[in-house]
Structure 1
Amino acid sequence: MPHWSVYTGNSEPHNGIDDLPAPPPWRAFDGEPVLPAPRDTDDRAAVSPDRAHRARTYVASPETVQLVNAALVLRRPLLVTGPPGTGKSSLAYAVARELRLGPVLRWNITSRSALSDGLYQYDPLSRLYAARRAAWRAGDTRPEGDVPGTGGPQGVPPASADVEEHLRLGPLGTALLPYGRPRVLLVDEIDKSDLDLPNDLLNVLEEGQYEIPELMRSAREFTEAGTAEVLADGTDEPVAVGRGRVRCRAFPFVVLTSNGEREFPPAFLRRCVRLRLRRPDREQLTEIVRAHLDTPAGDAEHLINRFLNRAADGELATDQLLNALYLTGVAGLDADSRDALADELMPYLSATADGDGF
């Protein structure tokens, strides 16, 4: 393996990330204060059992290993495209597990997703209600229309430190905190986004930083250093944000997945390392089955052949084969019943010549 490679694809956790080469001069970041790495994803308390299984059993091709390492070294996002069921999202969990980079930060994209959703969420209404409750509990006797400590009309909160209590960082915003080790951020199905989102991401991912205007406006009132304690995504532990500005130190490993449903702007594509996952061949399918189900190759061969034959006529996903193998093994059916059930569990994902669809 080349000396610059830290991800091996063998699923065995290690600390190779500490040997990651220095970034290119144009991709070096210096965010502070440096935050400790979160808990290892191999800790079952830090990741759900299904995702832990996917991370442990992921089978990476040589091309995948090479391009993951390229994205890590270049500090660039990895745009992963390919048909459904080829393991695009599972790759993020596999890399996080092997390199011990902590829980994956996941941002599921919809047509309504905006850049602000990924960076942070601020709830001004909850802050307004909190100010009113505080005034009521204090037994306010001021004339109607004033709230103690606001210096203004009722319901208008002061520009004070309580803003941080109503703000939480999103997955993208958390990934760009100044961690000593890169976090893993999965931006899932970015092709479903509004047309503007890829362009909106350009500046944030290029600069490795962003600002929180709500904190910047009241930074002087937090502490002399202008630091606020804000909750991060996926945890109840607050992190320090200085004067409303967040800048990364170790650029996160960003996995952007796409089913190929749309084209992306050239400016966005040139900033990404691009990986296209293809349908696994017979050898890869056998390895995937063994990793997931520990099924002897001979027992799985018949259904693997049936899967490959059916896949020649329509679009299938690997997890359909795994479902069929598991259920037919549990049911203990005869050969004809097993094949019939397998066909029911492996419907085509797109229209085919005989008119079937799913």
Structure 2
Amino acid sequence: MTAQAPQGHHGAADSRQDSDWRLFKGNGRARQVSFPEAPPWRRFGDKEARSRRTRPYLIGPQEADVVNAALLLRRPLLVTGHPGTGKSSLAHALAHELSLGHVLHWPVNSRTTLQDALYRYDAIGRLRETNRRRNARDDENAPQEDPGIGSYVRLGPLGTALVPSASPRVLLVDELDKGDVDLPNDLLNVFEEGEFEIPELARLTEEQSAVSVMTADSDVWTDVVRGRIRCTEFPVVIITSNGERDFPPAFLRRCVRLDLPEPDEERLRAIISAHLDPDGEEGGTDGFDDLMRAFLARRARGELATDQLLNAVFLRRGGVELDAEGLLDAVLHRLGRTL
């Protein structure tokens, strides 16, 4: 016979107090806890950890051929697929595998404009600085050197991707279908010509033709001549879409299209091993067949993302009883529409 925990004022919360994995007891009693190690894909402490998060990426040979076609053609890759199929992760996998530096990220929403991605000019900040210097011109301790217009111009992710360089940069245009209906057409000229102009710099005198401006990279500046930036190598552009609306034919003509399928059971097992057992030390996916069956059954009825299965396996490995009422439903909940 199993001894029952005493039922006092705190009831069921106290009955679970011997479960190691529960950091939060729900009994209102303050205590010191030690957090266990986070899942590999949720570690943010250092660059090495962030780099490790990008490595496990599995893609089929047909899909990989489409990616390579876009690379060879120097065309944007338009990636579609259900949530969790790895659309955004593809950009990080490319940057890692091809040693192209960190990904330039442009998240799109309904208020996004093309200029946001190209550059921003802080005209108000420059005016305030001019007035401050004018008011302090008699102060001997006030700085006398004008920082110049370049200090008030910062390139956005797309603008930075077009800066001339020996190797292309990777640009992730995330969820373009959430943007304004005209945004894809606004991108056409930039994608076709590989260049853009900053009018505030183009109007400067010949003596000021070369201006150093900030980029989207931390503490990195670049020289802009006569207000124009033109790439030497077209960036690796990954555009993701959840299919919320169609794009105009003129835009689609300039892209290579890739639809990522939902991974089958074999691919799911390989993904789990790549994320949780990169060195093959913990038995792969053994012992998680019930979670796999539950995931595949629920995915058949509605949208589920692969990372939800990863979450479930990680919790099970940590000793969490996912059979508890409501817990498996909370982890493997359907996304979007309900069927």
| TM-score bracket relative to the smaller structure | 0.7 to 0.9
Q: What CA distance in whole angstroms lies between the structure 1 residues aligned with 2:105 and 2:191? A: 16
Pairs within 5 Å for 1:334-349: 336-337=323-324, 341-349=327-335
**Residues 1:256 and 2:239 are matched in the alignment:** yes
> Counterpart in 1 of 2:254?
271
Residue 165 (structure 2) aligned to one of 159, 166, 179: 179
> Counterpart in 1 of 2:9?
none
Deviation at 1:46, TM superposition (A): 9.0
Residue 280 (structure 1) aligned to one of 242, 263, 281: 263
Quick one: which amino acid aligns to residue 113 of structure 1?
Answer: T
> 1:120, 1:167 within 8 Å by CA — same for their partners in 2?
yes
**Residues 1:206 and 2:189 are matched in the alignment:** no
3-state DSSP of counterpart to 1:297: coil
**Residues 1:77 and 2:101 are matched in the alignment:** no
> Counterpart in 1 of 2:306?
318
**CA deviation string 1:74-120 (max 9, x = no partner):** 00000001111111000000000000001100000010000000000
> 1:228, 1:242 within 8 Å by CA — same for their partners in 2?
yes
What runs of 5+ residues in structure 2 fail to find an aligned partner?
A: 1-43
Pairs within 5 Å for 1:92-103: 92-103=91-102
Q: What CA distance in whole angstroms lies between the structure 2 residues aligned with 1:103 and 1:350? A: 31
**Residues 1:135 and 2:121 are matched in the alignment:** no
State the TM-score, normalizing by the size of structure 1.
0.76
> Counterpart in 2 of 1:194?
180
Question: Which structure has the bigger radius of gyration?
Answer: 2
Q: What CA distance in whole angstroms lies between the structure 1 residues aligned with 2:291 and 2:194? A: 47
Quick one: which amino acid aligns to residue 78 of structure 2?
Answer: L
> Counterpart in 1 of 2:148?
162
> 1:178, 1:247 within 8 Å by CA — same for their partners in 2?
yes
**Residues 1:221 and 2:207 are matched in the alignment:** yes
Q: What CA distance in whole angstroms lies between the structure 2 residues aligned with 1:332 and 1:46? A: 27
Deviation at 1:220, TM superposition (A): 1.9
**CA deviation string 1:12-45 (max 9, x = no partner):** xxxxxxxxxxxxxxxxxxxxxxxxxxxxxxxx99
Q: What CA distance in whole angstroms lies between the structure 2 residues aligned with 1:119 and 1:46? A: 29
Quick one: which amino acid aligns to residue 192 of structure 1?
Answer: K
Q: What CA distance in whole angstroms lies between the structure 2 residues aligned with 1:86 and 1:292? A: 15
| Large movers: runs of 4+ above 6 Å | none
> Counterpart in 2 of 1:239?
222
Quick one: which amino acid aligns to residue 218 of structure 1?
Answer: L
**CA deviation string 1:51-76 (max 9, x = no partner):** x3442011122122111111111000
Quick one: which amino acid aligns to residue 212 of structure 1?
Answer: I
Residue 308 (structure 1) aligned to one of 290, 296, 306: 296
State the TM-score, normalizing by the size of structure 2.
0.80
Q: Would the alpha carbon gap of residues 46 and 345 (structure 1) be closer, same or farther in structure 2, given more than 3 Å must change?
A: closer
Q: What CA distance in whole angstroms lies between the structure 2 residues aligned with 1:68 and 1:99? A: 13
> Counterpart in 1 of 2:10?
none
> 1:47, 1:103 within 8 Å by CA — same for their partners in 2?
no
Q: What CA distance in whole angstroms lies between the structure 2 residues aligned with 1:261 and 1:46? A: 35
> 1:167, 1:230 within 8 Å by CA — same for their partners in 2?
yes
> 1:171, 1:185 within 8 Å by CA — same for their partners in 2?
yes
Deviation at 1:219, TM superposition (A): 4.5
What runs of 5+ residues in structure 1 fail to find an aligned partner?
A: 1-43, 141-148, 150-159, 354-358
Q: Would the alpha carbon gap of residues 211 and 55 (structure 1) be closer, same or farther in structure 2, given more than 3 Å must change?
A: same
Quick one: which amino acid aligns to residue 243 of structure 2?
Answer: G
> 1:324, 1:341 within 8 Å by CA — same for their partners in 2?
no
Total equivalences in the alignment: 286
3-state DSSP of counterpart to 2:229: strand
> 1:76, 1:272 within 8 Å by CA — same for their partners in 2?
yes
3-state DSSP of counterpart to 2:69: helix
Q: What CA distance in whole angstroms lies between the structure 1 residues aligned with 2:189 and 2:172? A: 18
